[in-house]
Copies of this chain bind each other. A is one copy, B any other.
């Protein structure tokens, strides 16, 4: 007999996964509540097996947690958790940058990330009205994916992927709200200077510098977080990434 858990068609699992992630990220399930598999399966119109696989995946990503009595609940994060997750993203990406500088990078890989940075140069304009934020978001995501892979450590790439799957620790967490806020726009000018400096430091084999730059780059997210929470709390609703943050 082949156990059911292992036969879930991939399509069904993906459907369950994207549906479930959506519910969680939009804050439609109260953090802390025990998730009912029956109710979720019916709501998402999938069977139990793909639902379980989806729950397992979200547990890996840190969006839901196993609870001692069995089953899962949506995790809730304090502001300090969010700060720590951003810090940790910076530490891990910093390690990726440092190891790339220390171990050396194949010319083709260096060319690829340099090309992304150069394309970004055309996107990041001093005039905020001229900026294409959607394009920035796509290229920024690409930059960070390439960076995570630059030193060729699969162990590290996995950790970064796991960490950045937390919505508020994603490199694009605050990009979708950039439009119209001068503070955010100015932070993109600094971010792009950092993108360039990171690649240059790696090419020059300056590991300590590359690590520090990537850490500081992540700090921009924290800076934007502080800005939203302290200076412009009305923006908070617009930052999807903060749906899971309590308090």
Which residues of A are interface residues toward B (Cβ below 8 A)?
1, 3, 5-8, 10, 37-38, 48, 52-53, 56, 59-60, 66, 68-71, 80-81, 84-85, 87-88, 91-92, 95, 98-99, 101-104, 126, 153-156, 159, 186, 189-190, 193, 197, 204-209, 211-213, 215-216, 219
Q: How far is the CB of A90 from chain B (nearest CB, A)?
A: 10
Q: When the two chains form their complex, are residues A91 and B102 in contact, meaning their CB atoms are under 8 A apart?
A: no
Q: How far is the CB of A124 from chain B (nearest CB, A)?
A: 10
Q: Jot down 13 A-B pairs with beta carbons below 8 A, ordered by A.
A: A1-B38, A3-B38, A5-B52, A7-B70, A56-B66, A80-B153, A81-B155, A87-B99, A91-B95, A101-B102, A126-B126, A209-B215, A209-B219
Q: How far is the CB of A216 from chain B (nearest CB, A)?
A: 7
Q: When the two chains form their complex, are residues A208 and B205 in contact, meaning their CB atoms are under 8 A apart?
A: no
Closest chain B residue to A200 by CB distance? B223
Question: Which one of B52, B87, B102, B216 lies within 8 Å of A212 (CB-CB)?
Answer: B216
A215 contact set on B, CB distance < 8 A: 209, 212
A88 contact set on B, CB distance < 8 A: 95, 155-156, 159
| A5 CA to B59 CA, complexed, in Å | 15
Known: A38-B3, A70-B8, A207-B207. A87 touches B95 (CB 8 A): yes
| A171 CA to B35 CA, complexed, in Å | 36
| A3 CA to B66 CA, complexed, in Å | 15
A68 contact set on B, CB distance < 8 A: 10
Q: How far is the CB of A149 from chain B (nearest CB, A)?
A: 13
Q: How far is the CB of A158 from chain B (nearest CB, A)?
A: 9
Closest 5 A/B residue pairs (Cβ): A212-B212, A6-B70, A208-B208, A84-B155, A6-B71
Question: Which one of B6, B98, B103 lies within 8 Å of A69 (CB-CB)?
Answer: B6
Please indicate which of the listed interface residues A1, A10, A126, A207 has the most CB atoms of chain B within 10 Å of its own CB: A207
